[in-house]
Amino acid sequence: MIALRGIYVIWLRELIRFVREPARIVGMVAQPLLYLILVGNGLAHGFQFRGAGSVNYLAFMFPGIVAMSVLFTSVFSAMSIVWDREFGFLKEVLVSPVPRAAIAIGKALGGTTVAVAQGAVILILSPLVGIALEPGRYLAMLGVLALLALALNGLGILVASRMESMQGFQVVMNFLVMPLFFLSGALYPLRGMPGWLAALMQIDPVTYGVDALRHLVYFRSALLATITQFSLAEDLAVTLGTAALLLVVSTVAFNRTRSA
């Protein structure tokens, strides 16, 4: 009972903070747009897509950019634990009777909700890159984003549990978040990549989330087979499995976290 209360309070706080910071919302929507407009257009006009000359690159990139937004938001939301544990609300929660596991779960759910809300806003912009989503597919995409966000929040909480100070933040950014993004197939397809790169991309759990999103974007399209790498079932299974695993591991890690 007190555990459910705890999860609810931590989730609610995450939401209230998000809604109260319009600058953050604008920033998180603007960043993917910048990628799309500046990087996307540059690549689209500078290079030709191997194996599928007629693919609209911006439409190809779009699911990847949505996944990127979820990736950044999720990991950073979880990383705020490090600061919060020392100087914030979380320190207070750690001496309350709420079990540690409930704190980790509340945090993961809060971060996921925020990330999906941002994804929902970005997805509304899909007609700009020539994608027309009917409500069913729109909601299905949100579902995939939620799974992906859960996995990434788990990852963030895991890292945050092991981190003592914010000094490691840049390291995490450079050696975890950016590789996860670059290797996810958001910018280029897995197919046709050299073996070592393809292998790395297959290890990256974000790859499967991006691929699932492309399944939905190119649903019943002639390009589906060219653009996607795995079956939708595989994508969902891997993402769900990663989310479950990371949530369990991160909850255990958070349980052991130093609270002082």
Partner 1 sequence: MGDRIVVEQLTKRFGEIEAVRGVSFTVGAREVFGFLGPNGAGKTTTIKMLATLLEPTSGRLQIEGLDVVRQRQEVRRIIGLVFQDPTLDDRLTAWENLLFHGMLYGLSQAEIRRRAEPLLEMVGLAERQNSLVRTFSGGMKRRLELVRGLIHTPKVLFLDEPTVGLDPQTRSQLWQHIRELSRHHDTTVFVTTHYMDEAEHCDRTAIMDHGQIVALDTPEHLKQVIGSEEIRLTVRASALSERSRWEAELGQSFSGAGTELLFKTRNAGADVARIVQAVGPAIERIEIKRPTLEDVFLHLTGREIREETVSARDAWREFGRRRMGR
Q: List residues near partner 1 by CB under 8 A.
A: 1-2, 5-6, 8-9, 12-13, 16-17, 20-21, 83, 86-99, 165-166, 259-260
Give the residue with the Cβ less far from partner 1, 54 or 165.
165
From CA 243, how far away is CA 251, in angstroms rounded?
A: 12
Q: How far is the CB of 189 from partner 1 (least distance, A)?
A: 41
Nearer of residues 16 and 237 to partner 1, judged by Cβ: 16
Report the nearest approach of partner 1 to the CB of residue 2 (Å).
5
Residue 117 or 193: which CB sits closer to partner 1? Answer: 117
CB of 165 to partner 1, least distance (A): 6
CB of 12 to partner 1, least distance (A): 8
- Compute CA 66 distance to the chain's CA centroid, rounded to the nearest angstrom: 8
Whichever of 83 and 138 has its CB closer to partner 1, that residue is: 83
> Minimal distance in Å, beta carbon 25 to partner 1?
14
Cα separation, 115 vs 102, in Å, equals 20
With respect to partner 1, which residue has the nearer C-beta, 4 or 233? 4
Virtual CA dihedral for 53, 58, 63, 68, nearest 10 degrees?
A: 120
Give me the least distance between CB of 24 and partner 1, in Å please: 10
- What is the closest distance, in whole angstroms, from the C-beta atom of residue 115 to partner 1 in the complex? 18
Question: How would DSSP label each residue in the chain?
Answer: -HHHHHHHHHHHHHHHHHHT-HHHHHHHHHHHHHIIIIIIHHHHHHS--TT-TT--HHHHHHHHHHHHHHHHHHHHHHHHHHHHHHHSHHHHHHTSSS-HHHHHHHHHHHHHHHHHHHHHHHHHTGGGGT----HHHHHHHHHHHHHHHHHHHHHHHHHHHH--SGGGHHHHIIIIIHHHHHTTTSSS-STT--HHHHHHHHH-HHHHHHHHHHHHHTTT-TTHHHH--S-HHHHHHHHHHHHHHHHHHHHHHHHT----
Q: Which is nearer to partner 1, 2 or 34 (CB)?
A: 2
Closest CA to 122 of 21, 221, 217, 11: 217
84 vs 234 by CB, closer to partner 1? 84
